[in-house]
């Protein structure tokens, strides 16, 4: 953590300024210390360069487990393909030149999949996650001097109001307890004229027929380590079955959807080993979260309109994407 980040941090409970106590440094970075709110004296630990505003263990533990295990699987710098880059730029429709030098908030950064892309614009990026995936993000991207990592809660964001020119959350909000509240909680921290881009699993009758939805009531209650160990054994078999079924004339695309495994064969330019790794990662991501709340287009549009956002655009890039600009109303 550096002093620049400290200037935009606030107590998430009271909005008070935070004072730094008992810091230890490594070079110019604050490695550890305590952040204390001026009046209420709420205390928050800085540990391993990351200010932490939430308990270590919480409902997002599966994501911490997931992203620390698959710490660089979906990073373009690791896969060798612009998969995350293509999704980020197509979803947000932002331009790197307009992001340069601006403060940007990544809500639900995971291990840094989209943070890596945003950082290439030379912005000041705050990568926030509720889980300890923040440690994987810092490990992966610490070579970027414009990266700031925070462990925090979307419902109590620890920042100054209107601190950010851009806010995005891709592949995250459907995994929070209250999706609408999660979206609205992010808006006070966006500047007037600032841009927001969020996406969601889309709620359609076809999607709700996917086997993950009738398996999740069971799998989300299984110990995460046990579930992962089981999937390590079964995913190669399920993936082989899914790839076989998709080759069946006419019915292949429908039949493969009956198999509870993430199959990117023929969709993403991945090697055999990468196909398995992505399949294991995303199948675990389907089955393990405490919350999974898809949204439909009309609902998302109504939220954006209720928030008074301008230039609202709803489109589809992997998921249902909504973009808008904050008005002065």
**Are residues 70 and 213 both part of a single domain?**
no
Judge whether 293 lies within some domain: no
Parts of the chain with a pLDDT under 50: none
Do both 115 and 180 map to the same domain? Answer: yes
Asked whether residue 81 falls in the same domain as residue 145, the answer is yes
Full-model pTM: 0.94
DSSP letters for 25-82 = EETTEEEEEEEEETTT--EEEEETTEEE-S-SS-TTHHHHHHHHHTTTTT-HHHHSS-
**What is the predicted pLDDT for the residue at 323?**
98
Element (H or E) spanning 282, and its range? Answer: helix 272-287
Domain-located, residue 18: yes
Asked if residue 5 lies in contact with residue 138, where contact means CB atoms within 8 angstroms, the answer is no
Beta-carbon-side half-sphere exposure of residue 149 (alpha carbons within 13 Å): 31
Residue 23 lies in a domain: yes
Domain-embedded: residue 292: no
Burial group, residue 293, by CB count within 10 angstroms (0-12, 13-18, 19+): middle
Burial profile 42-70: b = 16 or more Cβ within 10 angstroms, e = fewer: bebebeebbbbbbeeeeebbbbbbbbbeb
Per-residue pLDDT reduced to its tens digit, 40-72: 999 999 999 999 999 876 665 666 678 778 889
Nearest to 279 by CA among 234, 217, 224, 227: 234
Nearest Cα residue to 326 out of 167, 205, 190: 190
301, containing H or E segment = helix 297-306
pLDDT at res. 69: 83
Segment 151-162, tens digit of pLDDT:
999 999 999 999
Domain co-membership, 108 together with 180 = yes
Residue 89 belongs to domain spanning? 53-57+64-202+301-325
Sort residue 2 into left (φ over 0), alpha (ψ -120 to 50) or beta.
beta
CATH code of residue 117:
3.40.50.150
**How many domains is the chain built from?**
3
Same domain assignment for residues 130 and 264: no
Judgement on whether residues 278 and 236 belong to the same structural domain of the protein: yes
For residue 182, tell me if it sits in a domain.
Answer: yes
- DSSP per position, 267-279: TS---HHHHHHHH
Residues 24 and 148 both lie in one domain: no
Same domain, 178 and 112: yes
The answer to whether residues 100 and 182 belong to one domain is: yes
180 shares a domain with 312: yes
Q: Is residue 162 domain-shared with residue 187, that is, in the same domain? A: yes
Quick one: 92 and 127 in the same domain?
yes
Supply the pLDDT for residue 66: 80
Query: Is residue 295 one of the residues assigned to a domain?
Result: no
């Amino acid at each position: 953590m550096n002093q620049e980040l400290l200037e935009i941090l606030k107590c998430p409970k009271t909005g008070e300024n935070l004072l730094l106590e008992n810091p230890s440094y490594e070079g110019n970075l604050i490695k550890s210390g305590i952040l204390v709110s001026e009046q209420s004296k709420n205390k928050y630990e800085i540990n391993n360069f990351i200010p932490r505003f939430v308990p270590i263990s919480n409902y997002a533990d599966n994501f911490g487990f997931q992203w620390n295990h698959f710490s660089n699987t979906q990073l373009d710098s690791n896969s060798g393909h612009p998969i995350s880059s293509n999704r980020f730029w197509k979803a947000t429709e932002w331009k790197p030149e307009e992001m340069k030098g601006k403060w940007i908030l990544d809500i639900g950064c995971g291990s840094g999949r989209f943070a890596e892309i945003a950082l290439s614009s030379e912005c000041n990026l705050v990568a926030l996650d509720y889980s300890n995936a923040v440690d994987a993000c810092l490990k992966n991207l610490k070579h970027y001097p414009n990266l700031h990592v925070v462990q925090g809660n979307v419902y109590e964001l620890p920042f100054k109001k209107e601190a950010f020119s851009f806010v995005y959350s891709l592949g995250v909000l459907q995994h929070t307890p209250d999706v609408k509240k999660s979206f609205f909680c992010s808006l006070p921290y966006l500047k007037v004229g600032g841009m927001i881009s969020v996406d969601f699993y889309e709620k359609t009758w076809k999607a709700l027929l996917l086997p993950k939805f009738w398996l999740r009531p069971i799998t989300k209650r299984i110990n995460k380590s046990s579930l992962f160990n089981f999937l390590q054994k079964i995913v190669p078999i399920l993936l082989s079955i899914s790839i076989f079924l998709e080759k069946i004339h006419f019915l292949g695309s429908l039949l493969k959807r009956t198999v509870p495994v993430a199959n990117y064969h023929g969709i993403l330019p991945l090697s055999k080993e990468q196909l398995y790794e992505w399949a294991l990662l995303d199948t675990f991501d389907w089955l393990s979260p405490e919350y999974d709340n898809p949204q439909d287009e009309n609902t998302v549009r109504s939220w954006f309109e209720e928030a008074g956002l301008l230039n609202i655009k709803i489109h589809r890039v992997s998921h249902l994407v909504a973009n808008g600009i904050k008005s002065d109303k």
